[in-house]
Amino acid sequence: MTLVCLPGDLPLIDQVVYWSHPQAREFMAQYPRWLSTPGTPLEYAGQAALCFQITDTGSAANLTILAHRHTLRVLAAH
């Protein structure tokens, strides 16, 4: 079992986004040796957004997720 955070701790923003999005959960299940980058602020389709990226350490596979900066609702994933 892998702990995302210690009991009583709040999860990091990127973890909230990853675990709430089906495509991110699929990526993490398929590539269990992944790393993530901290959210980078940017504008996407005229909205304040954060860009997160999950990268597999054993291949070139990666997933980029754009989430709304205030609601963390996923705007795009590719």
Q: Could you report the average pLDDT of every consecutive run of 10 residues in the chain (78 residues)?
A: 51 76 93 89 95 94 94 92
* Contact between 52 and 75 (Cβ < 8 Å): no
Residue 9 has a pLDDT of 58
Residue 6 falls inside a structural domain: no
Contacts of 60 (CB under 8 A, 6+ apart): none
Contacts of 72 (CB under 8 A, 6+ apart): 13, 16, 17, 20, 50
Residue 4 falls inside a structural domain: no
Residue 8 falls inside a structural domain: no
Residue 2 has a pLDDT of 47
Residue 34 falls inside a structural domain: yes
Residue 3 falls inside a structural domain: no
Residue 20 has a pLDDT of 84
Residue 60 has a pLDDT of 94
Number of domains in the chain: 1
Q: Which domain holds residue 34?
A: 13-77
Residue 54 falls inside a structural domain: yes
Residue 32 has a pLDDT of 92
Confirm whether pTM is higher than 0.95: no
